[in-house]
Amino acid sequence: ELKVEQNPLFLSMQEGKNYTIYCNYSTTSDRLYWYRQDPGKSLESLFVLLSNGAVKQEGRLMASLDTKARLSTLHITAAVHDLSATYFCAVGLGGSEKLVFGKGTKLTVNP
């Protein structure tokens, strides 16, 4: 059974600071996704990572994937208030079409 663990689950940070959210998963996977969710809204796709060593960046967010360690990171650089949201990683189970989500990281960026 594929288990996906995110940490931290809650993150409060100041504007301008850097931080990293971690996503560990338990079995072989062939794809990993990062999503953003604002309160009361649907999920917005941020990144799709398909291979070991993949790194993608968009604005102040950068995601990476290490398939050997079964670990993905979402790095936040010089955080701004607009990044406040809940961030989810989701992992595709290798050989299956299932997509399993972590519990999410609620990020609050304070002025």
Partner 1 sequence: NAGVTQTPKFRILKIGQSMTLQCAQDMNHNYMYWYRQDPGMGLKLIYYSVGAGITDKGEVPNGYNVSRSTTEDFPLRLELAAPSQTSVYFCASRTVTEAFFGQGTRLTVV
Residue 82 CA to residue 49 CA, distance in Å, equals: 24
| Binds partner 1 (CB under 8 A): choice among 34, 88, 91, 109 | 88
40 to 69, contacts with partner 1 by CB under 8 A? 41-43, 45, 48, 50
| Binds partner 1 (CB under 8 A): choice among 55, 58, 69, 98 | 98
13 belongs to the binding site for partner 1 (CB under 8 A): no
Contact window for partner 1 (CB under 8 A) among 11-19, 60-68, 75-83, 92-100? 92-100
With respect to partner 1, which residue has the nearer C-beta, 97 or 111? 97
Structure tokens at 110: 């304070």
- Residues in the chain, overall count: 111
List residues bridging with 76 in a β-sheet.
Answer: 19, 61
| Binds partner 1 (CB under 8 A): choice among 24, 31, 56, 77 | 31
Give contact residues for partner 1 (rule: CB under 8 A). 31, 33, 41-43, 45, 48, 50, 88, 90, 97-104
